[in-house]
Structure 1
Amino acid sequence: MTAIRGMVAAVLAVLAMPGIARAEEPIDILQAGADAGVARGYPGVIGLVRTGSDTRYVHAGYGELSTRTPADPKARLRIGSFTKAFVAVVLLQLEAEHRLSLDDPIEHWIPGVVPDSAGITIRQLLNHTSGLPEYTDDPRISLPYIAGVERWPAWSPQAEVDIALQRGRIAAPGVGFAYANTNYVLASMVITAVSGRHTADEVRERIIEPLQLRDTTYPVTDPNPHGNWLHGYTWQRDISVADPQIYGAAGAMISTLDDFATFTHALFSGQLLPPAQQTQLTATVPTPDAGNGYGLGVLHAQAPCGPVWTYLGRTLGYDNRLVASPDGSRIVLLTGNEFHYLADNAAAARFLDDAATRAFCALYSPTAPSPSPSDQQGGR
């Protein structure tokens, strides 16, 4: 579901790596990457290239193994850590409404949730500089899903935070970047404290409904997928049914490639935030990879063709990646519907990462054609 420890290093490392042979068109590069991903272990791969209003699709393999249903690029899927950008937008909008400041200590809004939390601010939750540890690394959280022993154990946000704190602090607040899903569990608790409502309600009314993201949801308790669904697998075991509370605001959301591309464009083109908050969204702190940085729920990197916004949205059953131009006008998305917990997916993941970056750079090069005024569908 959400990105696991080492996510940032993994996504940034592939941005300049050699890989599959270049094709002339971005969509051909992405299709080759989808085919390569399936050949190397994903049940199915779907992808999207969007430039302005021109949208093209790729797909390979299966969206459901038992019926051998072809992977559908318009199917709904779990987007994992892409959820974090939605949560960050809600908090930035609340700040714009003067209902909080990102520099407020979390103790002001959620007293006692994190003992000895002095110095931790809302901003440090959103940019992963709180120094708090990762709760999903604890075997009590993920092993029941991986082993298939218990498909949807319930975890309250406080229980997840308590499990994380048992692992010990990583660093003092503000010392440096350390990715932890725990930060966004706490960020969601702050939203509820400020608004009196569940984060899912705020996301729906502030983002999903205004942008008309008709296939996007933030499930709270319903473990079942609905509608046209890209089934997710772990070691080829269907793990589509899972309790969304395991990741909550760190990665519970469901969407489609189309909807997420629409959100990405709105996010980076300034449609969702006033200028002051847009500046905060994209202000980054250094990650362990020189020259790259993490903003508020978004990751900035240097691709061979220039600066990009990029992300891995990994979750149980899904392996998503995004590459977008600074203004969100050019977007590449690619998803494989299996998430492995061992190194056996490394080669497949590299091909997906490489394909997404190469397709984007072909799309974003100075010689790339201008966006078409009409939508188109491509791929196979």
Structure 2
Amino acid sequence: MSVTRLITHSFRNLCSASVDLHGELNFIIGENGSGKSSVLEALFFIGHGKSFRTSRVDDIVCHDSKDFVVSIKDENNRQFGLSRDVSKGTTLIKIDGERHNRLSDLAQHIAIQIVTPESFKLFFGGPKERRRFVDLGMFHVKHSFPQQWKKFSRILKQRNACLKVCNNSSDWNSVFRYWTEQFCKSSVEVAEIRQEYVANLTIELDLWLAILLPNIESRVRVQYLQGWPLTSNLDDALANNKSREMNYGHSLYGAHKFDVKFLLDKRPIETQLSRGQQKLFLLALTFAQAKLIERVERVKPIVLIDDVGAELDNKSRSALSKALSSIKCQVVITAIERSVISPFLQQLSCEGDYDDVNDIPGKLVQQPVEYYKMFHVEHGEISEIYLNDSECKIQKV
């Protein structure tokens, strides 16, 4: 899907906003604290039911309000809405005017991929962050995965409960043996589908690295770690560590311990790349996952890129602009200054390479609006920037 209209009420400092977005490429310009990242947060929130900036949902509401609303309309005129009443602690989900009880009902229609300063947690935040990233893609690509993971989580909970009350009675051993058998079977099922997904993600990642980081593309390796040693099956790993598990009171091996590592010349990629290169790698990984989501034709992904100028020099932004021309989904990009997005506009305007947007023959502003939309945000108010042959006109929306 693509979002044609975003409506917010009392969301962060976007007190009341209605924005008509472009179906492919959108630029949002504004100073720090102006509200540009709040636009991305609103889109992310309706796709995930949570924020990428805070774990406390109630912090999102405007300071003088008791509730907030986020609503979108897609290219098929379908409407999706989510509201939160802070005073009552209740959340209301609506799809085409009908109430729904589960956030997953929204998520199956909206596939939001995002790159923000917080995305570097993928390297430094531990296995949990990488599991979250991979499983988010699998939710949309592997349609059986949500139910498989729900089943596994239930079995894991039961097995951990057994470990917490462990004793030597025959009844306990019988119950523990049953849940261990179910746990091993479910772990292997989840691991197999994850391994297939990671293999496809790796193939797609190589294609995007060839555009964004061609100098390292052939040296990158994606290491899949299933959650237990490759040298033994899960049954043996659990049997050999039974006493340790009883001491800890939880399962030490299984699909919940899955990890994926990104290596450059056999070393962790975050120790080998500059901050700018790390961001390009994150973008390549995000585009690779978006492409896999697009390929299953269940839902069209939306890519959000926050503060595109941070860590990226002009050459890197030029490489990113080439990548954006190949990704077939809606993209929303924020930047502090309009000069930061010059490489992207140059890509839209002409085939040559120019050092500055003002050097482009024929004037950039002659490009028709169907290529992209540009917005300016100030003090929570969003204005669309209209370009003509002689000047940039800003009109409040």
Question: TM-score normalized by structure 2?
Answer: 0.29
Q: Which has the higher strand share?
A: 2
Which of the pair has more CA radius of gyration? 2
Greater relative CO (CA pairs within 8 A, separation 6+): 1
Q: Which has the higher helix share?
A: 2
Question: TM-score normalized by structure 1?
Answer: 0.30
